[in-house]
A and B are shown apart, each in its own frame.
Chain A
Amino acid sequence: MGMETESQFHVLAVDDSLFDRKMIERLLQKSSCQVTTVDSGSKALEFLGLRVDDEDPNVLSTSPHIHQEVEINLIITDYCMPGMTGYDLLKKVKESAAFKSIPVVIMSSENVPARISRCLEEGAEEFFLKPVKLADLTKLKPHMMKTKLKKESEKPAKEEESEISKPGIEEEEAVIEILPLHQELESEQLETMVSSSSNKRKAMEEVISTDRSRPKYNDITTSV
């Protein structure tokens, strides 16, 4: 398979509400992305080419029949959906060897800190509060760029990244530190909280922003 025909990013948007799908579709188009919308997590997985085993939903296999024609650079999904929630979808994507490198962004109309941290812990790149604005989508480009760069040159840095993201204790500590929402904290406070930690997390200071949504802590490895 050759390079993508355009340098445009292709986003898979998942939301059970027709209204919200229309909104996110227009937002993404306006941000120069190609969009595919689906109304459920299971349809999203189908689109990706993941077959969910009916007997055991925990077993995911890549369907031999569906060859993923379209390269997806990002998945953006609503959190609250009947059946498979956005969180469930996130987990399934991150558990799949084939698709775990696809960045996932969660959207929700509810501001629940525990929910946000759980999603970020599970590997979501960003958590957007609805209504999503055009300005929010500018945060997506860096995440999508990473996947393109990765595909172009399968770097060994990738293994390093997964090592860094896994250590148990550090992971917990990092999550607790960045748990409070940025809109409630001044950036100085955040930096004070983070600065007492290791080198890895010092690098986080640069990526933490005071916006509502923020990058996940293992973004720091891109500089390697």
Chain B
Amino acid sequence: MNTIVVGQLQRQFQDYIVSLYQQGYLDNQFTELRKLQDEGSPDFVAEVVSLFFDDCAKLINDMSTSLERPDHVDFKQVDSGVHQLKGSSSSVGARRVKSVCIAFKECCDVQNREGCLRCLQQVDYEYKMLKTKLQDLFNLEQQILQAGGTIPQVSMN
């Protein structure tokens, strides 16, 4: 094991994940999620995150359909979708996605179709952005493991 390489990768990982927290992509709940990963469930975070992104895609698609016709919007369906999205983004620590969901819910409550459409677009953007960021993070993890190192536990205060 090349300890220098591992050390560099670990620092890179640490810096990257800290930046994700600082830029508001992730919050403390993501830390909680990482606590649940161990030797018995080494891919837990990646699995859960993947489930979350699949959920995002599906829910966004369904809500898009509901919002499509200006004269016939199913706000109940949209509300249900936002509720689910807010819940799972909260559980995963996807802070920006969750923020958009809060605004989204407000638009839905007052049946503001235009507002909903804007929020829908934003939530789509945010989840995709987070997906790329986390993919980069997981890639770094893999590199560390392949180099024979261990993944640092980063605690954010």
Contacts and interface: CB of A to CB of B under 8 A. Distances in A.
A22 to B, nearest CB: 6
Interface in A11-61: 17-20, 22-23, 26-27, 29-30
Interface string A150-194: 000000000000000000000000000000000000000000000
B90 interface: yes
Given A17-B84, A26-B44, A109-B87, A131 B29 contact: yes
B51 interface: yes
Contacts of A19: 48, 51-52, 55, 88, 91
Contacts of A131: 29, 32, 90-91
Given A26-B41, A26-B44, A131-B29, A20 B35 contact: no
A109 B86 contact: yes
A134 interface: yes
B55 to A, nearest CB: 6
A141 interface: no
Interface in B24-56: 29, 32, 35-36, 38, 40-41, 44, 47-48, 51-52, 55
A66 B145 CA distance: 47
A22 B48 contact: yes
Contact of A130 (B44, B51, B91): B91
A115 interface: no
A30 B91 contact: no
Contacts, number: 43
A30 B47 CA distance: 16
Contact of A20 (B40, B41, B91): B91
B36 A22 contact: no
A131 B44 CA distance: 16
B141 to A, nearest CB: 18
A27 B36 contact: yes
Interface in A88-141: 109, 130-131, 133-134
A109 B47 contact: no
A133 B48 CA distance: 15
Contacts of B47: 22
B32 A30 contact: no
Contacts of A18: 51
Query: 6 closest pairs, A vs B, by CB?
Result: A131-B91, A109-B87, A26-B36, A19-B88, A19-B51, A30-B36
13 contacts: A18-B51, A19-B52, A19-B88, A20-B87, A22-B51, A26-B44, A26-B48, A30-B35, A30-B36, A30-B38, A130-B91, A133-B32, A134-B32
Interface of A: 17-20, 22-23, 26-27, 29-30, 109, 130-131, 133-134
